[in-house]
Amino acid sequence: MPDSLRPQRDVALLHLETLIRRGRELQQPPSGVSLDDRPGDMRAWQQQCADAIHHLSGGSKAHWLSRAFSDALLVRSIDGAAVAHAPVEEIARRLVDVLLQARSSLTQMDSGEVPAAASAPPQRFTFVHRRELQPILEHTYADSREAFDRGDFALALVLSCGVLDAIITDALEHAERRDEPSGAATRVADLPFDARIAAAERAGLIGGGCRRLPAPARRYRDLLDQSGVLRHDAVAIGRDARLAGQVLRVVIRDLDPGR
């Protein structure tokens, strides 16, 4: 880090430490007192957090830190819909987590590592209705990005398409269970990948982003052996893997419009 920036970094770290400490105090109120009893304290601290995040993100709402702050204020119900009034204790915990991420980013700047502010945060899949899938999809999505970065395009394409397949299937199953409870999930599972995409488009669950999928991505299962493992002779080009990743991100936005 240039010496000229170090004082600014140190001041920002001190301010974050103060906010983190205050947030933890708010999470542990005196016995018999809840955060609901002290809305003014919570409001003031939340505004201070918003000001700090605004400064650290350069005022950009597209910055990962700004998005993380916005996500911390949003709690979803079981069916994936946004809940208007989240518990204040949960909001306080989430905001402290965001502040800890910001502190980690600034600390890494001093160790020569790439700061977290310069890279994308983990992709969350809280919009997926089958909750047991959410952490699996998160790890698979991260693995697909890493595979692409190291030039393993066949693996990157298969992983991206696998996530795409899973989230479209989840959305279709949820919609059909809601509209026609008996046997809907089985019918969706029987559909080929292309047919699932078409069904999701007809249902208005996703837009037309999948039309950019290259042919190898639509046949991504051909790159797998009978046990579902990537074949040793599987080959894909970088352009196809990149397009698959781009389409996946578009569909994530379709299915999680509150991001």
Give the tokens for residue 258.
């509150």
Q: What is the DSSP letter of 2?
A: -
List Cβ neighbours of 197 (8 Å cut-off, separation of 6 or more). 168, 206, 210, 213
CB atoms within 10 A of CB 66: 19
88-110 and 64-72 are packed helices; what angle lies between their axes, rounded to 10 degrees? 160
Residues 185 and 241 in one domain: yes
- Domains in the chain, number: 2
Residues 163 and 230 in one domain: yes
Q: Are 24 and 96 in contact (CB under 8 A)?
A: yes
Residues 94 and 176 in one domain: no
Domain extent for 188:
131-255
* Tens-digit pLDDT string for the chain (259 aa): 444 456 777 788 888 888 998 888 887 766 655 655 567 888 899 999 998 898 888 887 778 788 888 878 775 544 444 454 557 777 888 899 889 888 887 776 654 443 443 445 678 899 999 888 888 898 889 888 888 888 889 999 999 999 999 999 999 988 887 766 554 555 777 889 999 999 999 999 999 999 999 999 999 999 988 877 888 899 999 999 999 999 999 999 999 876 5
Q: How many angstroms separate the CA atoms of 22 and 26, rounded?
A: 6
pTM comes to 0.55
Residues 177 and 92 in one domain: no
Residues 250 and 135 in one domain: yes
Residues 100 and 66 in one domain: yes
Q: Which residues of 35-55 are buried (b: 16+ CB within 10 A; e: fewer)?
A: beeeeeebeebbeebeebbbe
Residues in the chain: 259
Residues 69 and 144 in one domain: no
Q: How many angstroms separate the CA atoms of 13 and 244, rounded?
A: 39
CA-to-CA separations, 76 to 90, 168, 177, 191, 214, in angstroms, rounded: 12, 19, 19, 29, 34
The answer to whether position 123 is within a domain reads no
Residues 52 and 110 in one domain: yes
CA-to-CA separations, 249 to 8, 30, 168, 255, in angstroms, rounded: 35, 44, 12, 10
Residues 108 and 138 in one domain: no
Q: Are 91 and 141 in contact (CB under 8 A)?
A: no
- Is 1 exposed, middle or buried (CB count within 10 Å of its CB: 0-12, 13-18, 19+)? middle
Q: Which long-range contacts (CB under 8 A, 24 or more apart) does 220-224 make?
A: 220/157, 220/158, 220/161, 220/162, 220/165, 220/193, 220/244, 221/193, 223/154, 223/157, 223/158, 224/158
What mean pLDDT is reported for the chain? 80
Residue 196 has a pLDDT of 93
Domain boundary among 90, 118, 146: 118
